[in-house]
Structure formats: C-alpha cells, structure tokens
C-alpha cells in the first residue's frame, strides 16, 4: 500500500492534505458529532433535572458548555485552525469576537445607566401631581 501524497502546488507549497490535515475525514466528522451531542445533552440534563438550586450557576455552566460547543463546531465542521488560510480565518474570528464583546458590553452598560438615570423611583412618583 502506498501512503497518501500531500497536494503540492507548482510553487512547492503544501496545502495540508497530508497527515496534519484538518479533521475533514469521516472519523473527524463523527468525533465532532459525538462531542456536539454530548455538549448538548449535558446542559439539557442540567436544566431539566434542576441539578443546581441557583439559576445563576446553571446559566454560567450553560454558557461554558456553549463556548466549548462553538469551538468544537469551528474545529470539526468549519475546519478553522491557525494554519488554515495562513491564519487569516483565525485572525478574522478573533477580530469578530472582540467587536461583539465591545458592542455587547457597551450596549449593556448604556441600558443599565439609562435604566438607573431615567426611570423615576416609586418615591418620586408619589410626589407627582
């Protein structure tokens, strides 16, 4: 049996179809699928079984599982890693995450302060005509 040959263009660049290729095989897809099912089933069980008494703890754990599942989908199904497209796809992802964090945190900060500064309190309402 011969070993698979890596795809090399005329300039001599290896395109990652050798041993260190992204998990675009059936085994890679099945691994991603099983991880996705497990990362969905555990939070479902946490919520439906009311494992934690505090909803905040459950929400924090659900967010952690969601973050891990995002990474699993990006690695196993979108084939994103530091080597794909010369690292530009990973750099674009990091830039997108930074922008989303800035937009969300800024929006939450503005809404919180608008609520605190603009809504009249019950004491103020009693003194109104």
Q: Domain check: are 71 and 116 in the same one?
A: no
81, 94 contact by CB (below 8 A): no
Whole-angstrom CA distances from 25 to 10, 19, 37, 79 are: 26, 12, 18, 11
pTM: 0.59
Q: Domain check: are 62 and 99 in the same one?
A: no
Q: Domain check: are 92 and 41 in the same one?
A: no
Residue-wise pLDDT tens for the chain (129 aa)?
444 444 455 555 555 544 444 467 899 999 999 999 999 999 999 999 999 999 999 999 999 999 999 989 988 998 888 787 887 888 888 898 999 999 999 998 998 888 777 766 666 667 766
Q: Domain check: are 111 and 66 in the same one?
A: no
> Into how many domains does the chain fold?
2
Domain range spanning residue 35?
A: 18-79
Whole-angstrom CA distances from 82 to 22, 57, 64, 93 are: 11, 33, 22, 11
Say how many CA atoms lie within 13 Å of 55 toward its Cβ: 0
**Is residue 128 helix, strand or coil?**
coil
């Amino acid at each position: 049996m011969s070993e698979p040959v890596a795809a090399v263009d005329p300039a001599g660049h290896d395109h990652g179809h050798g041993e260190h290729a992204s998990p675009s095989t059936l085994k890679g897809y099945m691994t991603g699928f099983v991880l996705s099912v497990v990362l969905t089933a555990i939070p479902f069980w946490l919520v439906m079984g009311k494992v934690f008494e505090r909803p905040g703890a459950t929400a924090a754990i659900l967010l952690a599982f969601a973050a891990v599942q995002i990474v699993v989908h990006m690695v196993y199904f979108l084939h994103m890693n530091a080597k794909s497209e010369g690292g530009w796809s990973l750099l674009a992802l990091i830039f997108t995450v930074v922008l989303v964090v800035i937009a969300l945190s800024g929006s939450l900060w503005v809404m919180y302060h608008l609520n605190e500064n603009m809504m009249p309190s019950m004491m103020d309402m009693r003194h109104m005509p």
